[in-house]
C-alpha cells in the first residue's frame, strides 16, 4: 500500500474524482434526507450533521473514497482534504491500494467479487477516523472490464458492490456504483493531464493530446484545432463540455476490445469470455516457433502455441495484427501536428525494452517501437525468453499508432503516470479551487448524482456520467 504520494491510477480519475467527492460532500451538507441505510430518524440525521459541522469546523478535515474498477484490477483511492474557514478545501493526502484480478473476472461467480471490495474497505476504515466514517462519500467507477461484459452480468457485479457499500459505515448514495463510459474516461484523463501541464490555466499554451493503452480498451483524446477534424469524425468520436467557464470540443474515443490484453486474445484467435473446447488450442504466428504454454485472461485459461518456423516472426505477426485491426480504428489526420503524452502499456513496454528510462520516461517515435518490435521478434526466433508476448505486443503497438493516424516519425512523450503526477505536489492545492469554476452540474454528472435534487440544470445527460 502506498501512502503520502499520488498513485499512478490517480491520473485517470484524480482531478475529477476529487471534485466529485468534494461536491458530493458539500451536497450532503445541504441534503436534509437521512443517510442511505440509516435507521435513525430525520431529526437524528440532522443532529449528526450539525455535530459534524462543528467537528469539521474545529478539525478542518474530511475524506472521500474512490474505487477504480479496471479490467486488470480494482484500486482504492482514499483522499484526505483539509479546509480552513472561508477557504476552499485542499487535497493533502492520498492512500492507494490495488488488488488483482479485476471485477470482470468474477462475472460467473459474483459472490467471490465481494472479497476484494471488502478487503479494500478495511483499508479505508484504517485510514479514515471512525468518527468521520458516516460523513465520507464512497464511490465506484468501473471501466473497460465491465463494459466488455454482457449487460446482465455487469449489472449483477455492480449490484453486489452496491450491497457491500450499503452495509459499510461510509456515506453511500443510490447511484454510487456505475460503469464509466469510454469517452468520459478519455475526457477525465485529458482534463487531468492538461491541468497538470498548465494548459487549462494559460490560453496561450497549446494543449496536449492523450493516448492510454489499458488492458480492455485504448483511448485517444485531443483538442482539435481544425473544424475539419470535428466535421469528418465518425459519430461518437467527438464531444463537448463546459468547464472553467469555457466550452471544449474534444475528439475523444475509447476502442473497447483494443486494449492490450483484449488485443492479445483477438490476435491469438480467441473470443472474449469464451473458453476453448476440450483439446483446442490457439496457434499464433506472433508467438515463438515451438513455444507452447497456457495463458490466463479474465479468469479463462487458454492453451497457446507458436507456429512452426517459416516466415520471419515480425513479418508473419505484422500480417496477423494488420488483419485484426483492419477498419477497426479511425485515422484522424490532425494528430500528426499535435503533441501527445502516452501512458500505461505504451510506457510499460517502452521501458521494458529500454526505449526510455524506467524512472524518467522519455520521448520516442512510432519508428522506435517498430525497430524494437523487429529486434525482439528476431531474437524470439531463437529463444522465447521470459516475455513470449513481447513480439506480439510491440508489433500491435506499432500498428495501432499508425492506424490512429500517427506517422512513423511522430514524437511522443512517454512517461509513467507517477512521474507526471509529481507536479500534483505543486498544484494539488489548486484542484478543489477549480471546482467552483465548473458549470453547475458537471461534477454531479461525473459523480452520477441527480441534479434535480439540487434544483439545478445539468448540462449533460447524467446517464452518461460526466
- Taking only the tens place, the pLDDT of each residue in 224-233 is 999 999 999 9
Greatest C-alpha distance within the chain? 78
Task: For 191-217, write each residue's pLDDT tens digit.
Answer: 888 877 888 777 778 999 999 999 999
Q: Is the pLDDT of residue 327 over 70?
A: yes
Of 74-78, 301-305, 373-377, where does mean pLDDT reach its minimum? 74-78
- Residue 152 catalytic? no
Angle at the Cα of 253 (from 437 to 9), degrees rounded to 5?
65
Q: How confident is the model at residue 183 (pLDDT cuts 50, 70, 90)?
A: confident
Mean pLDDT of the 53-82 span? 79
Q: What is the pLDDT of residue 447?
A: 34
Query: What pLDDT score was predicted for residue 295?
Result: 96
pLDDT of residue 58: 54
Percent share of the chain, pLDDT over 70: 76
Catalytic residue among 94, 127, 185, 465: 185
What are residue 218's DSSP bridge partners?
213, 255
Among the CATH numbers 3.90.1150.10, 1.25.40.20, 1.10.260.40, 3.30.420.40, which is that of 2-181+424-464?
3.30.420.40
Q: In the prediction, which pLDDT does 459 show?
A: 31
Q: Would the pLDDT of 14 be above 60?
A: no
Cell numbers standing for residue 317: 505477426
Is 264:361 a contact under the CB 8 Å cutoff?
no
Provide the pLDDT for residue 28.
Answer: 55
Q: Is 216 annotated as a binding residue?
A: yes
Residue intervals in the chain for CATH 3.30.420.40 = 2-181+424-464
What are the distances in angstroms from CA 5 to CA 18, 78, 90, 248, 416?
15, 11, 15, 31, 14
Residue 217 counted as an annotated binding residue: yes
Residue 218 annotated as binding? yes
Q: Note the pLDDT tens digit of each residue in 254-313.
A: 999 999 999 999 999 999 889 999 999 999 999 998 899 999 988 789 999 998 878 899
The grid coordinates of residue 73 equal: 484490477
Residue 402, annotated ligand binder? no
* Nine-digit cell string for 251: 475528439
pLDDT value for 411 = 97
Residue 155 annotated as part of some ligand binding site: no
Question: What pLDDT, in 10s, does the model give residues 125-165?
Answer: 999 999 999 999 999 998 877 888 888 989 999 999 999 99
Amino acid at each position: 500500500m502506498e501512502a503520502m504520494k499520488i498513485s499512478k491510477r490517480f491520473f485517470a480519475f484524480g482531478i475529477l474524482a476529487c471534485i466529485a467527492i468534494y461536491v458530493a460532500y458539500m451536497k450532503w451538507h445541504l441534503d436534509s434526507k437521512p443517510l442511505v441505510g440509516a435507521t435513525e430518524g430525520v431529526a437524528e440525521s440532522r443532529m449528526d450533521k450539525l455535530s459534524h459541522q462543528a467537528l469539521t469546523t474545529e478539525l478542518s478535515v474530511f475524506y472521500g473514497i474512490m474505487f477504480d474498477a479496471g479490467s486488470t484490477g480494482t484500486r482504492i483511492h482514499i483522499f484526505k482534504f483539509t479546509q480552513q474557514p472561508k477557504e476552499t478545501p485542499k487535497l493533502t493526502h492520498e492512500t492507494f491500494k490495488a488488488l488483482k484480478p479485476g471485477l470482470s473476472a468474477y462475472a460467473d461467480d459474483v459472490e467471490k467479487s465481494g472479497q476484494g471490495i471488502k478487503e479494500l474497505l478495511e483499508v479505508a476504515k484504517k485510514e479514515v477516523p471512525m468518527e468521520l466514517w458516516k460523513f465520507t462519500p464512497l464511490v465506484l467507477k468501473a471501466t473497460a472490464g465491465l463494459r466488455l461484459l454482457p449487460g446482465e452480468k455487469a449489472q449483477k457485479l455492480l449490484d453486489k458492490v452496491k450491497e457491500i457499500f450499503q452495509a459499510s459505515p461510509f456515506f453511500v448514495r443510490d447511484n454510487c456504483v456505475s460503469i464509466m463510459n469510454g469517452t468520459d474516461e478519455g475526457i477525465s484523463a485529458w482534463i487531468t493531464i492538461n491541468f497538470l501541464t498548465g494548459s487549462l490555466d494559460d490560453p496561450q499554451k497549446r494543449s496536449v493530446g492523450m493516448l492510454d493503452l489499458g488492458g480492455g480498451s485504448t483511448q485517444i483524446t485531443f483538442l482539435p484545432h481544425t473544424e475539419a477534424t470535428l466535421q469528418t469524425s465518425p459519430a461518437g468520436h467527438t464531444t463537448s463540455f463546459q468547464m472553467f467557464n469555457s466550452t471544449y470540443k474534444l475528439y475523444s474515443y475509447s476502442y473497447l476490445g483494443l486494449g492490450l490484453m483484449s488485443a492479445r486474445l483477438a490476435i491469438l484467435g480467441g473470443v472474449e469470455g469464451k473458453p476453448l473446447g476440450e483439446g483446442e488450442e490457439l496457434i499464433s504466428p506472433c508467438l515463438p516457433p515451438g513455444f507452447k504454454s497456457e495463458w490466463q485472461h479474465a479468469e479463462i485459461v487458454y492453451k497457446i502455441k507458436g507456429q512452426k518456423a517459416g516466415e520471419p516472426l515480425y513479418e508473419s505477426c505484422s500480417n496477423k495484427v494488420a488483419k485484426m485491426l483492419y477498419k477497426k480504428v479511425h485515422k484522424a489526420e490532425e494528430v500528426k501536428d499535435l503533441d501527445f503524452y502516452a501512458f500505461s502499456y505504451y510506457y510499460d513496454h517502452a521501458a521494458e525494452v529500454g526505449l526510455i528510462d524506467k524512472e524518467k520516461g522519455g520521448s520516442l517515435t512510432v519508428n522506435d517501437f517498430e525497430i524494437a518490435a523487429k529486434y525482439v521478434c528476431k531474437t524470439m526466433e531463437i529463444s522465447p525468453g521470459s516475455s513470449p508476448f513481447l513480439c506480439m505486443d510491440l508489433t500491435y503497438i506499432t500498428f495501432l499508432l499508425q492506424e490512429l493516424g500517427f506517422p512513423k516519425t511522430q514524437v511522443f512523450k512517454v512517461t509513467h503516470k507517477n512521474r507526471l503526477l509529481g507536479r500534483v505536489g505543486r498544484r494539488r492545492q489548486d484542484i478543489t479551487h477549480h471546482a467552483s469554476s465548473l458549470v453547475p452540474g458537471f461534477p454531479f454528472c461525473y459523480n452520477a448524482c441527480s441534479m434535480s435534487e439540487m434544483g439545478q440544470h445539468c448540462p449533460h445527460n447524467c446517464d452518461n456520467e460526466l
